[in-house]
Amino acid sequence: MNGVNIGVLAVQGDVAENVLATQMALEDLGIIGTVNEVKTPEQISDIDGLIIPGGESTVIGTLSMVNGALKKIKEKIANGMPVFGICAGMILLSKKAKDRVVGEMDQPLLDFLDVKIERNAFGRQQDSFESEISLEKIGISKFPGVFIRAPSIIESGKNVEVLSKFNEKIVAVKQGNIVGTSFHPELTGDLSLHKYFVNLVKTKH
Ligand code: GLN
């Protein structure tokens, strides 16, 4: 059987860190597969799972719309491809996003994750911080949460499972094959969330 082919959307943001973390997760789990940076619709059509990294959601969204990647990603998710959206990536997966200061934003979104997101939800004084969080539902009792101008989820639909909260704010969710986190697991050296995602991809493969 062929190995799994996991893509990391390579437009802007934490691309290299996610490639590395995913490669290490595959290796640790003994799962045969490859991890590739993907950008074009052709590259995206070949993958079994996608990570949309953190960065700037307006930039990643706009550039991916222009080259047709967004349309291809939508098609693949609609066909059941697992996707892991990290920070800006989770914003892109959502149905609705507004900025804490600027308010409603007209930005391209993938429109799958049934949540309303507040961008930059943790305020300026706390732009970036680290705090231990827990994702018991998926068997991760302790995780180092690295929050960088992080969003939070302010409303979520019935089909959305809340995986973690921090200070009463929702910071990790799952809806079917879609996983989203406000924080950046690729910057921690803790591979448990990347392993969780790799297993999800493997199961659907
Ligand atoms: N604040 C960024 C945005 O709204 C997300 C930050 C991040 O991905 N670390 O797109």
Average confidence (pLDDT) over 54-76: 97
Residue-wise pLDDT tens digits, 141-190:
999 999 999 999 999 999 999 999 999 999 999 999 999 999 999 999 99
Residue-wise pLDDT tens digits, 43-57:
999 999 999 999 999
CA of 6 to the centre of ligand 1 (A): 22
The minimum-distance atom of ligand 1 relative to the CA of 119 is 4
Residue 181's domain comprises: 4-204
CA of 126 to the centre of ligand 1 (A): 14
| pLDDT over 60 (residue 201) | yes
Total domains in the fold of the chain: 1
Question: Among the residues of the chain, which ranges form H helices?
Answer: 15-29, 41-45, 57-66, 69-78, 88-93, 192-204
Mean predicted lDDT score pLDDT of the chain: 96
Between these two residues, 103 and 151, which has the higher pLDDT value?
151
- pLDDT band at 104; cut points 50, 70, 90: confident
Output the six-digit token pair for 65.
């719309």
Whether residue 184 lies in the annotated active site:
yes
**CATH number reported for the structural domain that contains residue 124 in this entry:** 3.40.50.880
For 96-125, give one letter per residue: b (16+ CB within 10 A) or e: bbbbeeeeeeebbbbebbbbebbbebbeee
* Among 77, 64, 65, CA closest to 10: 64
Burial classification of residue 165, based on how many CB atoms lie within 10 Å of its CB (0-12 exposed, 13-18 middle, 19 or more buried): middle
Question: Percent of the chain having pLDDT more than 70?
Answer: 98
- Quick one: residue 141, left, alpha or beta (phi over 0 = left, psi -120 to 50 = alpha)? alpha
CA of 119 to the centre of ligand 1 (A): 7
Whether residue 155 lies in the annotated active site:
no
Give the helix/strand (H/E) hosting 98: strand 94-99
Angle at 141 between CA 92 and CA 150, to 5 degrees: 30
